[in-house]
Amino acid sequence: MPFRLILALAATLMASQLAACATVVEGTEDKVSFETTPAGARCGIERDGAKLGTVDATPGTLTLVKSKADLAVTCEKTGHLTVTERVESEFTGATIGNILLGGGVGLIVDAASGANNRYPALVKVILPPEKFPTPAERDSYFDGLKADINGRYDKIAARAKETCPANNQAQCDSETTKVEEKRQKELTALETKRQAVKIG
C-alpha cells in the first residue's frame, strides 16, 4: 500500500475518533449563572487559587472553561455574612459515548482537557444576615433553611431510588450514600453560619 495512502487513512481514522469526543459533542466551556439571596451581592469565582471572574451584582452569568477542578465561589454583601461555597465539577458520562463511537484517543483528550466534566448551569448562594435581634429570630431563620435543605435532598433521594437499576443494588447504595453525604455537608455548613451570626 502506498505510503501516502497509509497516511491518508491514518488521518481519516484520527479525525473520526476526535470528532466523537466530548470536546466536540459538548464543547469546552460552560455558561454558569450565579444568584444570591438577597440579590445584588458581589461574587468572585476561583479555581485552584486562580481568579476566573467576578459577578459585580448578582444575578449574573460567566462563561467558564471546563475542568476537573471544583470552583470556589465567594459572595459578599453589606449587612450579610460573606459566604464561600464549593461548586463541584461533575463527570458527564459523555466519554462513554466516545468509547463506543470514537475509541481511546478521544478518551485521553477529554480526560486531559476536562471536557467530560461539567459545572452546574445555576449556582445559588444564600447570604444570611450578619446580625439578628434575638436568638429566637436567628433560629427561626436557620431552621427554615434547614427544612429547605432536607426537603430538597429528600426529593433527590426519592428520584435516585426511582431511577436506580433494579439489578444493581451496589450502584443504588452508592448513589444513596453520595446524596446523604452531600446533605450532611450542607447541614454542617449551615450550622457553622448559624454560629457565626451575631445577636443584638
Summarize pLDDT for 71-100 with one digit per residue, the tens: 999 999 999 999 999 998 887 654 444 444
Higher pLDDT, 38 or 13: 38
Question: Does the reported pTM lie above 0.85?
Answer: no
Annotate 61-98 with DSSP letters as a single string. Answer: EEEEE--SSPEEEEEE-TTB--EEEEE--EE-SHHHHH
Spatial distance between the Cα atoms of 16 and 39, rounded to a whole number of angstroms: 47
Please report, rounded to a whole number, the percentage of residues in the chain having pLDDT higher than 70.
74
**pLDDT reported for residue 21:** 47
Helix 3-19 / helix 104-113 crossing angle, nearest 10 deg = 50
DSSP state of 129: B
Q: Binning pLDDT at 50, 70 and 90, where does residue 26 land?
A: low
Is pLDDT of 160 > 50? yes
134: cell is: 434575638
Mean pLDDT of all residues in 96-107: 43
Q: What is the pLDDT of residue 80?
A: 98
Dihedral sign of CA atoms 170, 173, 179, 183 in order: negative
Mean of the pLDDT values across residues 52-61? 96
Cell of residue 79, nine digits: 449587612
Whether 166 has a pLDDT exceeding 90, the answer reads no
List, in sequence order, every beta strand (DSSP E) within 1-49: 29-37, 42-47
Residue 129: closest CA among 6, 37, 55: 37
| pLDDT band at residue 164 under the 50/70/90 scheme | confident
Q: Among residues 154, 151, 153, which one has the least CA distance to residue 143?
A: 151
Question: To the nearest whole percent, how much of the chain has pLDDT over 90?
Answer: 54
Provide the pLDDT for residue 29: 85
> What class, spelled out in words, does domain 1-127 have in CATH?
mainly beta
Give pLDDT, residue 161. Answer: 83
Q: Would you state the pLDDT for residue 168?
A: 78
Name the residue ranges covered by the structural domains of the chain.
1-127, 130-200
Residue type, 189: A
Model confidence at 1, pLDDT cuts 50, 70, 90, reads: low
pLDDT at 194 over 70: yes
List of residues 6+ apart from 33 with CB closer than 8 A: 59, 60, 61, 121, 122, 123
Q: Predicted confidence band at 8 (pLDDT cuts at 50, 70, 90)?
A: very low
Tell me phi and psi for residue 130, to 5 degrees: -80, -5
Higher pLDDT, 2 or 134: 134
Nearest CA to 124 among 186, 52, 188?
186
pLDDT at 172: 83
Measured in degrees and rounded to the nearest 5, phi and psi for residue 90 equal: -110, 145
